Structures are given as C-alpha cells and as structure tokens.
Amino acid sequence: MTEEKRSSSLSILFDSIRWEEKALYEAAKKRGIKINNIDCKSLFIDLNGRDPSPYTNKVIIQRCVGYFKSIHSTAALEGLGAHVINSLRTATLCGNKLFAHMELQKAGVKTPKAVSAFSQESAIAAISSLGYPAVIKPTIGSWGRLIALLRDEDASKAVIEDREHMFPLYQVYYFEELVSRPPRDIRAIVIGDRVVAAIYRYSGPGEWKTNMALGGHAETCPLTNELEDTCLKATRVMDGQVVGVDLMESEEHGLIVHEINNTTEFKNTVRVTGVDIPGLIVDFSYKLGK
C-alpha cells in the first residue's frame, strides 16, 4: 500500500452502544488514534463505486448487533473498498450456524453432530436420525434465543409446529446432538493469529445454556496448546480477524467448536481475565491500515 493510501484513523460502526463499543473508543483515544463513531442508523451509503470511494482503505470495526444490518452494511462498505473487521466472508459464514458447521467439518475442526431439514415432516425424521435428546437452533441468532432442548418426539412436534408459523428462516431446521459436557463452555477471544484470553462460562440456575445473557457466570480458563490450536484453526477456516470462539468440552470427543462469533462481546472476558482486549483489538485494527 502506498504512503498516501494509508488510513490514519479507525472507524467503529455500531447500532447500539454497549460496554465494548465504549471500551474500543477509549482504547483508541488513549493511543492518540483518531476514531470515527459511525451510527448505522444515521448512515446512508452511495453504492455506486467511485475510485476511490470515501471508504477506500478505511479500517472499519463492525459492531452492529443486528445481524441483517451488520451483514448488509459490511457488504456495502467492503464493496466500496473498506477493510471491514470482520470481512463479509467471515460474517456470512460465522453468522449462520449451518454455514459455520459445514466449514468447520470440511476443515476437520470438531463440531457437534448436526442434521438439517426443510419441512415439518422431514424435521421430525431428522431428529430421530440424530437421537434424543437433541438441540434445535435457528440458523441465525444469538444469546441462546430460540435454542431449545428436545427430549422426545412430542416436544419436537410442539416446537416445530410453532416454528412453522414463524418467519421462513425458522423453517430451515438445524438440529444438533446434545453434547455431554460439564455445565460450562469456553469463550476464547482470538485477535489476528493469537488467542488472547479465554473464560469458562457456567450456566445459571435451572439453565442448560451457558450464555452470560441467560444468567451464567464466568471464570478464567487457562490457555492450553490444544485450546489455542483448535481456536486458531477454527478462526482460519472462517478467515476471522477478531472473533470469539465458543467451545464445549465433550466427554466423548474432547474440545469441540460450536460457534464462532464475528461481532463478539468481550466485557466478561476482560472483567474476569484482566486482559486488555479492547486495546489489543485497536492495535491490531490500526496496524491493518498501515
């Protein structure tokens, strides 16, 4: 990249301001890096390419919570020459659990056994082929929402009937085996080619899902070679730059990856481990513009 084309600033694209967005802003300010906050709600983008466009070579940290806003704004900005973290490819693959499953299993990264189906009847047959108990997940979603445990065929029929009355996305059925594991999972933060921190997330009372949004609590997780290797391989498969890798400790298969978050939250990981994740993200992102 030539001297003139270098981006001397960073941008954060957001649709709501959480702890993470504030922390990224503060980390950039602390380093004397010019940081533009772009509110997705007030943004409009001329999609007709100009060379250069106002976004050519700009480094933009994508932080929109809303899946559709995030993926479409990434497509527009990346298409106009911006370097969006994470890329459209990463966001597309990570944002959809079926797409992510296929990429991970093609690359030989261990992930829960899964089946997919596209009608009410075939969905029931699909779960039987997997065996009970099973887990139903929307292909696109987060914070554990609409993920349900299916203990038997009656429960499956009831849940699937409900899904048949929802938006068509929910009729793309995706089921996973219920993985036997301790009552916790692992969230590891990867920045570039480094796993910078990890936490165990324990499920809250009466809850089997370990999402912090569902009342879970967190503890530091040591970075073993196996954890680092698995996370880096999973991140590379997705071309991820800054991601949160979610893993389970399967009693049968050891560490398995069940999700890679392309707009990851990291507040609890910073609180528990003390690692300056926002600072590391800002350093990594700023270097990309250099």
Ligand X SMILES: Nc1ncnc2c1ncn2[C@@H]1O[C@H](COP(=O)(O)OP(=O)(O)O)[C@@H](O)[C@H]1O
Q: What is the binding site for ligand X (CB under 6 A)?
A: 112, 135, 137, 141-145, 147, 176-179, 185, 209-211, 246, 258-259
> What tokens does 165 get?
């009355």
Q: Is 286 helix (H, G, I), strand (E, B) or coil?
A: helix
Q: How far is the CB of 230 from ligand X (least distance, A)?
A: 16
Q: Which of 246, 247, 272, 277 binds Mg ion (CB under 5 A)?
A: 246
Question: How far is the C-alpha of 133 from the C-alpha of 178, rounded, in Å?
Answer: 6
Considering beta carbons, is residue 118 or 143 the nearer one to ligand X? 143
Q: Take residue 5 and report the two structure tokens written for it.
A: 């084309």
| Partner whose footprint covers residue 262, from Mg ion, ligand X, none (CB < 5 to 8 Å by kind) | none
Which span (51-59, 66-74, 173-181, 243-251) binds Mg ion, by CB under 5 A? 243-251
CA angle 90, 97, 131 (to 5 degrees): 155
Closest CB to ligand X among residues 19, 202: 202
Is 21 one of the binding residues for Mg ion (CB under 5 A)?
A: no
Residue in 150, 259, 263, 272 binding Mg ion, rule: CB under 5 A: 259
* Pair type for strands 173-177 and 134-136: antiparallel
Q: Which residues pair with 84 in a beta bridge?
A: 60
My answer on whether omega of the bond before 96 falls inside 30° of 0, hence cis, is no
- Total binding residues for Mg ion by CB under 5 A? 2
* Angle 213-179-110 from CA coordinates, rounded to 5°: 100
Partner that binds at residue 258, options ligand X, Mg ion, none, CB closer than 5 to 8 Å by kind: ligand X
- CB of 94: closest distance to ligand X in angstroms? 10
Report DSSP letters for 41-85, one per residue.
GG-----S--SS-TTTT-EEEE--SSHHHHHHHHHHHHHTT-EEE
Give the nearest residue (CB) to Mg ion.
Answer: 259
Residue 135 contact among ligand X, Mg ion, none, beta carbon within 5 to 8 Å by kind: ligand X
Q: Nearer Cβ to Mg ion, position 10 or 248?
A: 248
Nearer to ligand X, 136 or 282 (CB): 136
Could you give phi then psi for residue 89, rounded to 5 degrees?
A: -60, -45
List residues binding Mg ion (CB under 5 A): 246, 259
